Amino acid sequence: MTRDRATKRHTRKEASVPPRKAAAPPRPDPATLDIVIWPDPVLTRPAEEVGTIDSWLLQVVERMKQLMESHEGVGLAAPQVGLPLRLFVMAEKAKADQAVTVINPVLELDSHTEAAEEGCLSLPGIRGQVIRAKSVTLTGYDLKGDPISMPLEGFPARIAQHENDHLDGVLILSRMPPSARIALGKKLRELRTRS
Ligand SMILES: [Zn+2]
């Protein structure tokens, strides 16, 4: 994601709570939510902004934190549990009780970049080098609906960029060089056929 695209797609106005009206997404029982695996289409569609923080959403977030920890992930975005909503949880030590929840996040990217290996809970067995901004400013809303702003550097900045990508329907596959995607062909075919 370029800086231009990031600012164009997520202005402060768009990120306000409550946002524009949209068709109400489904509200499944949070206890039934589980990790969604590629190529499920929910993973490659842009998500809708969160309009209301209610008890259902709080339960969804709790479930997401549990799933993140039990799968040893450092972050999980709502589309990864099948919900097309702009929110994610992240915890660099994969601990649910240390997780930060960000609703309707907006990222401002620093221009300095670095490459590092990433994996994704929705792409089991797939890892690859992804270039990301070294530091970002992450803004959004917490679970009380209060605005938050966090400068992040290094690994937490990378997690925030990875999770925010999920809200735009962008996976690490499209951030890898074409040669890396070709090398992953067999593993990707296996994921396609298991679904
Ligand atoms: Zn991911």
Question: What's the CA-to-centroid distance between 10 and ligand 1, angstroms?
Answer: 20
Rounded distance between C-alpha atoms, residue 179 and residue 165, angstroms = 21
pLDDT score recorded for residue 5: 43
Token couple for 160: 């925030």
What pLDDT is attached to residue 38?
97
pLDDT of residue 2: 29
Distance 161 CA to ligand 1 centre (A): 10
- Name the residue among 5, 37, 45 with its Cα closest to residue 169: 45
Active site residue 92: no
Q: What is the pLDDT of residue 20?
A: 57
pLDDT at 6: 42
How far is 20 from 155, CA to CA, in rounded Å? 33
Measured in Å, residue 80 CA sits from the centre of ligand 1 at 7
Name the DSSP letter for residue 99. Answer: -
Which residues, given as ranges, of the chain have pLDDT below 50? 1-11
For 91-147, the pLDDT digits (tens) are: 999 999 999 999 999 999 999 999 999 999 999 999 999 999 999 999 999 999 999
Segments forming the whole domain that contains residue 168: 3-194
pLDDT, position 7 = 44
Ion ligand 1 nearby residues (CB, 5 A):
120
In the reported structure, the alpha carbon of residue 11 is separated from the centroid of ligand 1 by a whole-number distance in angstroms of: 23
What CATH number is associated with residue 98?
3.90.45.10
Q: For residue 79, how far is its CA from the centre of ligand 1 (angstroms)?
A: 10
Catalytic residue among 49, 118, 163, 190: 163
CA of 122 to the centre of ligand 1 (A): 6
Is-contact 122 80, C-beta < 8 A?
yes
Burial class (CB in 10 A: 0-12, 13-18, 19+), 117: exposed
What is the pLDDT, as a whole number, of residue 4? Answer: 42
Give residue 22's pLDDT: 59
Which pLDDT belongs to residue 194?
83
Helices (H), 29-150: 55-70
What pLDDT shows up at residue 106? 98
> What global pTM score does this model have?
0.87
* Number of domains observed in the structure of the chain: 1
For residue 72, the model assigns a pLDDT of 97
pLDDT for the residue 3 = 37
